[in-house]
A and B are shown apart, each in its own frame.
Chain A
Amino acid sequence: MIKIEKVTKTYITGDQKVEALRGVDLFIDKGEFLSIAGPSGSGKTTLLNLIGCLDKSTSGDIFISGENVGEKSKNELALFRRQKLGFVFQTFNLIPVLTAFENVSFTLALLSMNGSELKDRTMKILKEVGLEGMEHRFPRELSGGQQQRVAIARALVKDPDLVLADEPTANLDSVTGEEILKLMENLNRKHQTTFVFSTHDKMVMDHAKRLVLLHDGLVTKDERR
């Protein structure tokens, strides 16, 4: 489903060259629940950004659902992300002026969906993430865990091929973090949606079905459980 071949990423800041990824090879199958782990500066966020089509590699190729994303233009990448990818961010990144329902349905509106289909799909996913009855609440009226549930619902409502989560529990307490991970596990099992998340939290790593360890821009361990 995702094929990463000899991917490198070099950042140039002034006179300095920083090699964030130095030739990563990875294959991720459909339905995997994979964690990319490693210390700060190991390149996990960079790799996640490349898989999420938010950034372009310096060299190497990334294939998602058979398409070489490196060959796509900026607008094509935006369309690709809109149709096939879901994102969960560390800081939730909900739109504060929209309700939980509107935040989730936002991704469907991007796909020009409206009417009863939009409503039904949004309500269904909100129920699945345990937010039934809270759909009219604004982000400020929700706890951190509830906000992350809205973010997960937003990522999954369009039934994407892949959900990318950057440190999804980093802003949550351990109990809430555990709940969120269990929720993602359940959704992964139920929808067979591929989940790739970055973390340096041991609890998150423990939940992963596959753990890829990065160090200094190279994969140092790839463990299936």
Chain B
Amino acid sequence: MRKGFIISLAFKNLFRYTRRTIITSIAIAVGIAFFIWIDGWMKGIEKESERNTIQYETGSAQIMDRTYWDERDFLPLRFTLNHPDSMLEVLKENNIPATKRITFSAEVYFGDVSKQIKCIGINPETDNAVFNFKDEKVLLPSSRYLRANRDEIMIGRDLAENLGIDLDAFITADSETGTRPEAELKFRTRLGAYQTLTVKVVAVYNTPNPVINKAIGMIPLDIASSVLEMNGSVTEIAMLFPPWEDVNERIKGVAALFANTKDDLTVMDWKNLSGNPNIMEGKSKFLNIFLFLIFVIAAVGISNTLLMAVFERIREIGMMRALGMKDSSIRLAFLFESAGIGLIGSVVGLAIGAVLNYFMVTYGLDFTELMGSMDFGYRIYGVFRATWNPQTMVTAFLLGIISSIIISFLPSSRALKMEVTECLRYQ
């Protein structure tokens, strides 16, 4: 029997129960639209979180002493990079933007209020090659970027609020001549001595990374080096790789550059540096389970509809078999019919998903009020935006059609298991 006839029959049957076809197609469409929407959203969050982590927190990767990395929770200043400038030279020769930093633990006092923070000594000349704190959008009005060899600090907006700094007064004062709030930093030097440093708050930044806004302060590297008694050593060198390049490959390349040094170094990517690398994988698994459940719901709908369609047509199936139509041809007709429902649902789902995603990409959803400064493991603040993911759209589209076809096997097989005479007698 010609396939064209079977397709034509399937197409006509598709519009036999228009309402049912529409309802089933809607079930598929909703599943696919959700799939595209949620996936685009999650991918958007992940991508933005990645960008915010790299631009404000870690860079693409960092070189550090292996023991420092192993004991990173304590920020041990005795395990450092002792020849950072020669390392930076090597990186520069290899066209890798890099900057040296000193990260240490400190307590910041503002009046009666104090907060435990992670303080970072940054080189104002080179930090901008890797990080993005010089961006005008990031710094609050009247802020001024750090200058070398001055007792000053940049802090995050949330930290400033928590310390009780009057931000309204801060942003209206002149950055050069206006009164700047003063804070006190208390910390232990590399040799374990207690030290205090009074710093002027010259900048308040509001990055899209809540972790940075909440508990990080930045002072000039030379000041940090001096007060911490670092003798020119630093805790890490942060690097920036082009986003289209494979970070792991670049890390291998950087590690190879310093393979012959006496120091026991390690190179860590941004995922490891920002926390538990399994968090994102865990969330991806959760997302997959969620998407699977959406499809199970859609599959139950399709299965139910097709089961009804098949059993309403049992006598017709019996007649076709009596006239000599092969079971495989009858099954094929049902498969084409299901594929048709899947196709309609997929096209509609794709369209709805694309529209939803467009709004999520363009406007996003603002969770500022809901989240406050919480980060949920993602480095995103306020507005959650989606991203376009053509691969997911194609997958969802094909999944809609293929799953419809697979699901149709069960009801058509049940009907074809019956004897022809049984089909003809079926009431």
Chain A residues close to B by CB (< 8 Å): 49, 52, 54-55, 75, 78-83, 85, 87, 89, 91, 93, 95-98, 106-107, 109-110, 112, 114, 154
Contacts and interface: CB of A to CB of B under 8 A. Distances in A.
Given A81-B323, A110-B1, 18 more contacts: A54-B322, A54-B419, A55-B420, A55-B421, A78-B326, A80-B324, A81-B322, A82-B324, A82-B325, A87-B319, A89-B319, A93-B316, A93-B318, A93-B319, A95-B319, A107-B324, A109-B1, A112-B2
Interface in B71-92: none
A91 B2 contact: no
A106 B324 CA distance: 11
B244 interface: no
B379 interface: no
6 contacts: A55-B419, A81-B322, A93-B315, A106-B5, A106-B323, A107-B323
Nearest to A82: B324
Given A49-B421, A89-B424, A96-B16, A83 B2 contact: no
A157 B316 CA distance: 19
Shortest Cβ-Cβ A-B pairs, 4 listed: A82-B324, A97-B12, A93-B319, A81-B324
A110 B330 CA distance: 11
Interface of B: 1-2, 5, 9, 12-13, 15-16, 315-316, 318-327, 419-421, 424
A181 to B, nearest CB: 22
Question: A54, A80, A98, A114: which has the most chain B beta carbons within 10 Å?
Answer: A54
Given A54-B424, A97-B12, A110 B319 contact: no
Contacts of B315: 91, 93
B321 to A, nearest CB: 7
A205 B424 CA distance: 24
B421 A83 contact: no
Nearest to A106: B323
A49 B321 CA distance: 13
A81 B324 CA distance: 5
Nearest to A79: B324
A82 B321 CA distance: 9
